[in-house]
Structure 1
């Protein structure tokens, strides 16, 4: 859907469109709904009473008002939108409402509408405007690039939505952030035969040039020359060569600090010789969701221009099987100089990230945030909605967690238990890339492995659960979710 938002200072009934959306809190019309109800001789409350409409969250009721679309007479229809109990309202309530109402308006076939901003005693104009606009733009996302059939004739392909009594700057910021999230979603949803490492690098370069970011792309020869043996070891089995992507945003004034963002960029993961079952490979185009989140965040950062210098790093590769692929029992030498014995070729992401984290450290990052679809163990621990947060620095960990809370993305801190490091020690090399046959603490051991490649404050976000959804969810359709973009934007203070 092509959705355009317009901020307005006026009330819902003062904007000349055919559909007006008003909220219902706990069975009662909102202030804007009451205003509209009075204007149309209690048409809304009469129908609510007749149909026993209580306004549970997401419940809707379309009410014809019997007018033509004129500025004097107001809208021809009202859509009552259930918001649940007012006492439990949060920004997430409004965000999800924005997504749901856009989908419902499009389903009904309206091309233009106005909605109230769902203000309450707990939520101010700025906060509610931002959450509603962001939710609407995320909820209106669709991935139809490779569909040859036309969409349903009833569903609106274009929608112009007015946000009554909203904050213009908040809506503008929401548009930037939501566009960045949807950019990340597009990258994750691309099929792996299209989005190869070289293509991912090309798109990152194109975005950087468009938005004025510094960009540097290394090919396989430069990766080898740099000494990234762990990264290249994973990549060497594929006919599609790896790329190392580096983007930099610099503020106009001296930077307050320098932050590095690192994203896992496995554009497809077969598991290598430790082959994944076929059903587990179906979603492995999403194994670059960390990279997508980092690139999406850089897109928003370039437009919002924070006072922080931000550097992004993506080690893009495929994990494939061939005569050149790395094997179990191989020993790889990482950029840090540490040697790594391979016990499982499907624990490849941490190898690529080890070299990317080392490089970010050496380039002068004061603190690092890394995002990766790293372990199934984290999904078992926290499910599909919550990312695991691991940090070697309590203050930095809290800062990232608080940013996620403000952004409405769910993360949960898990320990980096140093006693478990013993399981990563190798008799052959410095480290093993997994903790062996044990079924325990897989996500923690992966985080501990990454922590061996920097002494800087590091947060590792294991987004294996929330990065990809196999069915539609409150903020969008099945596929890539763009998880992490909003957290990174909040973290960087823009």
Structure 2
């Protein structure tokens, strides 16, 4: 799909579809007014007759509008003008894209990004429209014996400007959003793959494939014997029950001078989580294939910044394994020694994500990072606390937390800053080891982050618990691609402060 910016009045555009907005009070946007005037007040008449309410997300597709060169005109409801916010814009553009792609249009000109928004410019509106197009057209059906035929014939979307020339920022927004959209597609694809295909070895191969496609990426894959030499007893304790070998994948993206210290992203990659000996209930256990969405988001983000050519050094670290029950699996009560030297009493083998992350976080220190961000579908407690709207954010440095929160607000891939107070740490005290891997039901997401914090004292660190945001259950079951947009924006902001 191609995206570009085009200058010109809508009634003079020759395309498969024109997309313009209308508010609930009948007020037409500037682009819609021009169409209305050329079409002898046809749009005003439609509203007056009650055929279009203007409600947020409502759409009406018109054919053969008089004196308009385009084959179709798509009216998009925007709600009340004085209540039109970023949220209303996102609802409207997503609905518009769904309607557009259901038509037979081969190309379209969209004038919605020119709508005025408080604290958001047209470049932001364009980038969100591009991402909405990617999301609308995403399908995961290639494992079906008869894949659904692609009904989408649309191949080009232009964003119309009524006046002025496209700015460098607007053009950059298209390039960046398209790269992020592709990164999210990779993240979704990996998350949606079943555990019998997406194994630790498969993730390692995907990382190697990325390096073949982008010269700026270098990949290293450590085997279990390598991890044993490094003393990663915590990570290896999780994989003991599985026949699939664990991997520690490192992707180094070099976009800046070699002397520049990198940002490190660490993604939890449990490709299937049964809970181990602390076996999960059978209902909905299939969704545990999504327990590698943190790893998938790291791969998607690295692909995006490589496509953009971001002038920044970034390292992605992915500890990946399965968590299975067997005669050789780790048992509740076992004590293991982490790479840091700290001993861990494993009271629940289903709290395994923190066990693989802690060794990866210790390993991250070798890169002398400016900051380290780990991303993990870590706790059901975070879902209880924040639902499926916001990711949980923890950090040992408030400035880093604010930078990530700002990136989340920019992209509407939002996170919520959670406490990481010392008062929670005693819940992890063990009678037999330096630390235990669970702190009880109370504040479960917080104590999980407190566990990780004990391995991150040498650098700026943040933890994103994406258990509630990485996938959807029910009828719309599937990976969401979050938080690739947040991570990519954070990295872009490191180079180009907004």
Normalising by structure 2, we get a TM-score of: 0.92
Is 1:380 matched up with 2:363? no
Q: CA deviation at 1:252?
A: 3.8
Mapping of 1:61-460 within 5 angstroms? 61-66=60-65, 73-122=68-117, 123-151=120-148, 155-165=151-161, 167-212=170-215, 213-253=217-257, 256-435=260-439, 438-455=440-457, 456-460=459-463
CA RMSD across the alignment: 1.9
The alpha-carbon distance between structure 1 residues 176 and 323, as it changes in their structure 2 partners (threshold 3 A), is same
Distance 2:129 2:84 in 1: 13
Is 1:18 matched up with 2:16? yes
The one-character-per-residue Cα deviations of 1:186-226 (angstroms, maximum 9, x if unpaired) are 11011111100000110011112211201101112212122
Is the 8 Å Cα contact of residues 278 and 350 (structure 2) preserved in structure 1? yes
Match of 2:472 among 469, 480, 483: 469
Which secondary structure state, in structure 2, belongs to the residue aligned with residue 261 of structure 1?
A: strand
The alpha-carbon distance between structure 1 residues 171 and 255, as it changes in their structure 2 partners (threshold 3 A), is farther
Distance 2:237 2:432 in 1: 17
Distance 1:51 1:63 in 2: 15
The alpha-carbon distance between structure 1 residues 312 and 231, as it changes in their structure 2 partners (threshold 3 A), is same
The one-character-per-residue Cα deviations of 1:161-187 (angstroms, maximum 9, x if unpaired) are 222226333212211111111111111
Q: CA deviation at 1:152?
A: 6.7
Is the 8 Å Cα contact of residues 47 and 63 (structure 1) preserved in structure 2? no
Distance 1:328 1:62 in 2: 60
Which secondary structure state, in structure 2, belongs to the residue aligned with residue 282 of structure 1?
A: helix
Which secondary structure state, in structure 2, belongs to the residue aligned with residue 231 of structure 1?
A: helix
The alpha-carbon distance between structure 1 residues 205 and 439, as it changes in their structure 2 partners (threshold 3 A), is same
Which secondary structure state, in structure 1, belongs to the residue aligned with residue 382 of structure 2?
A: helix
Q: CA deviation at 1:158?
A: 4.4
Q: CA deviation at 1:443?
A: 0.5
Which secondary structure state, in structure 1, belongs to the residue aligned with residue 7 of structure 2?
A: coil
Distance 1:96 1:224 in 2: 50
Which secondary structure state, in structure 1, belongs to the residue aligned with residue 388 of structure 2?
A: coil
Is the 8 Å Cα contact of residues 113 and 159 (structure 2) preserved in structure 1? no
The alpha-carbon distance between structure 1 residues 208 and 98, as it changes in their structure 2 partners (threshold 3 A), is farther
Partner of 2:31: 32
Distance 2:47 2:59 in 1: 11
The answer for unaligned runs of 5 or more in structure 2 is 494-498
Distance 1:404 1:471 in 2: 25
Normalising by structure 1, we get a TM-score of: 0.93
The alpha-carbon distance between structure 1 residues 325 and 406, as it changes in their structure 2 partners (threshold 3 A), is same
Is the 8 Å Cα contact of residues 404 and 410 (structure 1) preserved in structure 2? yes
Distance 2:313 2:354 in 1: 25
Which secondary structure state, in structure 2, belongs to the residue aligned with residue 296 of structure 1?
A: helix
Distance 2:88 2:253 in 1: 33
Distance 1:147 1:103 in 2: 23
The answer for unaligned runs of 5 or more in structure 1 is none
Comparing 162-171 and 198-207, the one that deviates more: 162-171
Q: CA deviation at 1:320?
A: 0.5
